[in-house]
Amino acid sequence: MNGLKVERVHYSMEDFMKENIVYAPTKNELKEATLKVLDKANCECTTKYINEQVSKVLKLSDDYLLKEDESGVGTEYNYRMRWIRTELKEEGKIKNTKRGIWRLSLI
């Protein structure tokens, strides 16, 4: 690799607080939390409810939740959650029963 050394940096929550770094959850963390929320609810849930509960499960900061996406139309969190639901739907794990309403798939 052209002699470049790549070093992974792992930050603790304390590092994030000290350095004013905003923690962004991984795709897998968002997927797992979404499935957990829907499983715990054991019923159909609105997009808003899912997003609120996932943010609580993952203890996401207000700084992250309010960060605008690149387009400036919404938040990065809501944008990522739209893709998380889309991927979970394509994987057959959740169903969109009607606009803005979601539930676990019956497998």
Q: Note the pLDDT of residue 22.
A: 72
Contact 38, 45 (CB under 8 A): yes
Q: What are phi and psi of 75, to 5 degrees?
A: -95, 155
Residues 58-92 pLDDT 10s: 999 999 999 988 887 899 999 999 999 999 999 99
Q: Note the pLDDT of residue 1.
A: 44
Residues 1-55 pLDDT 10s: 445 554 555 555 555 555 556 789 999 999 999 999 999 999 999 999 999 999 9
